[in-house]
Amino acid sequence: MRRTYVTVSEMQDFLKCQWRWYAKYRLNRVPRRWSDALILGTAVHDIFEGHFKGEPLERAFDLVDLTMIPPPGMDPDHVAAAVKARKQLHAYRPQIVGFVDQFRVDETLEVEEAFELPLDPGWVLQGRPDRVVRVGDVVYHQQHKTLAPNKALETYSKVIARSMHEGLYGYYLSRKYNGLLQYGGTALNVILKKVVDDQRKGSFQTIIKVDAVERERARLRAILIVREMARAESIVARFGHHALIDNPLEDAGAFGNSLDGYYHVLTGQRKLSDDAYFMDREERYVAQG
């Protein structure tokens, strides 16, 4: 049987707009636009990954910082985004290298270990928890996030408890360690994207309970989504990808103040094959096998 691999991000993109999902994940074409916010978030994530694998924070920071120097021949737009992200990273250096983990951790069980979770016949979820830790007889998924300073942290921490990401990761981990440890939920580390004079003002930590009901709900939701994905693929096979429903609510982009990169294709002004505006998507999350 053919195995189709999906991630939580892909399922979320499918829910936003089926046409854009197909263009991105099946035709493998994405707008030629680089996000400094995404580059920055990835860098902070990589710093903490290195730290929890044993590197001191300062060295982990410096190692990641070196990887952000644009190499010769890089796309000029990519260079501009990378330079901006690196400048921001340097501004937040004190709160990153000064970070002190307030969570009690008795044992680190895994760091960035990929997993596969069967959803429906032929459909498999792929994921990679940031860090999995044991506190007594309870296991937690420890996540590292960067957020804008105007984000409502109390609201964010409540909403994340029902997110498909935390539910599915919790479902997988609760079964992996079943019989050995209870599943507690998410231990959330947040670095706020702002310059501060006191590190304590630049970070946020909390425990978010993800109970069995939410974990099962996330699994059932994911199964329904991949079934709709299969149906969408059948529609494309019969009528072509332009038969999929596009969502005009996505036209204004992620923040509502600039046109989404696919807008000009949907309005007939450009083609996905135009390399001046689109490029092949890079799989940065989990290698598919």
Structure confidence by residue, pLDDT tens digits, 56-110:
999 999 999 999 998 988 888 889 999 999 999 998 888 888 888 888 899 999 9
Give domain status of residue 143, yes or no: yes
CB contact burial 243-269 (16+ within 10 A = b; e otherwise): ebebeeebeeeeeeeeebbbbbbbeee
| pLDDT value of position 198 | 58
* pLDDT value for 196: 61
Q: What is the pLDDT of residue 99?
A: 83
pLDDT at 288: 38
| Segment 16-45, tens digit of pLDDT | 999 999 999 999 999 888 888 889 889 999
- Mean pLDDT, the chain, as a whole number? 89
Give pLDDT tens digits for 138-165: 999 998 888 877 777 788 888 888 899 9
pLDDT tens for 177-207 read: 988 899 999 998 888 777 666 555 677 888 9
Which residue, among 203, 229, 210, 146, has the nearest Cα to 172 in the 3D structure?
A: 210
pLDDT, position 287 = 40
271 occurs within a structural domain? no
User: Is 8 within a domain?
Assistant: yes
Q: What is the pLDDT of residue 274?
A: 92
Q: Which of 233, 243, 266 is nearest to 4 (CA)?
A: 233
Give yes or no for residue 289 having a pLDDT over 70. no
Q: For 203-235, how does the pLDDT look when each residue is reduced to its tens digit (9 = 90+)?
A: 788 899 999 999 999 999 999 999 999 999 999
In a domain, 119, yes or no: yes
Closest CA to 161 of 143, 146, 135: 143
| Pairing mode, strands 138-147 and 182-192 | parallel
Asked if the structure places residue 264 within a domain, the reply is: no
Amino acid at 100: V
Burial zone of 152 (CB within 10 Å; 0-12 exposed, 13-18 middle, 19+ buried): exposed
- Looking at residue 100, its pLDDT comes to 82
Contacts of 287 (CB under 8 A, 6+ apart): 114
C-beta of residue 3 within 8 angstroms of C-beta of residue 124: yes
**Total residue length of the chain:** 289
Please give the residue range of the domain that contains residue 12.
1-25+104-248
For the chain, the domain total comes to: 1
pLDDT > 70: percent of the chain: 93
pLDDT at 82: 92
Q: What is the pLDDT of residues 254-278, one digit of tens each?
A: 667 778 889 999 999 999 999 988 9
CA of residue 277 relative to chain centroid, distance: 24
| Block residue for tokens 């002004």 | 269
Is residue 243, in this structure, part of any structural domain at all? yes
Please compute the mean of the pLDDT values over residues 114-131 and round it to a whole number: 96
Can you say how many angstroms the Cα of residue 247 is from the centroid of all Cα atoms in its chain? Answer: 22
Give a yes or no: residue 89 inside a domain. Answer: no
Question: Is residue 239 a part of any domain in this protein?
Answer: yes
